[in-house]
Amino acid sequence: MILHSDRGSQFTSAAFRKVLAQYGAVQSMSGTGRCYDNARMESFFAMLKKEKLYRIRTERMPMAQVKSIVFRYIMTYYNRQRIYTANPGGLPPAMYRQAARGLAA
């Protein structure tokens, strides 16, 4: 697993790095002042919060239920139905990959 983070003190602390090492995770951080390397993920998480999580009362739900909601949102709606403006024709990610495989065959 690779964990990409910014250079915030919580991510550079010895305690945080120790936990990463316990799980065999590799930490990835960009150089100072390079805020654009993680822009796509920041955009995805902002969209996930706006389109799904801020619309429901997750603070009162068990973590397993919230994980299930996020999983279903990503796997059924985001990957297969949601219009994705970065792909030609607005295809969702799974449909775009399927179409790209058809072209390569």
Give per-residue pLDDT as tens, 59-84. Answer: 999 999 999 999 999 999 988 888 88
H helices of the chain, where? 9-12, 14-22, 39-51, 63-72, 93-104
Give dist(CA 105, CA 101) in Å, integer. 6
Give dist(CA 46, CA 44) in Å, integer. 5
Give per-residue pLDDT as tens, 6-15. Answer: 777 778 899 9
**The pLDDT value given to residue 31:** 67
**The pLDDT value given to residue 15:** 92
Q: Which residue has the higher pLDDT, 90 or 86?
A: 90
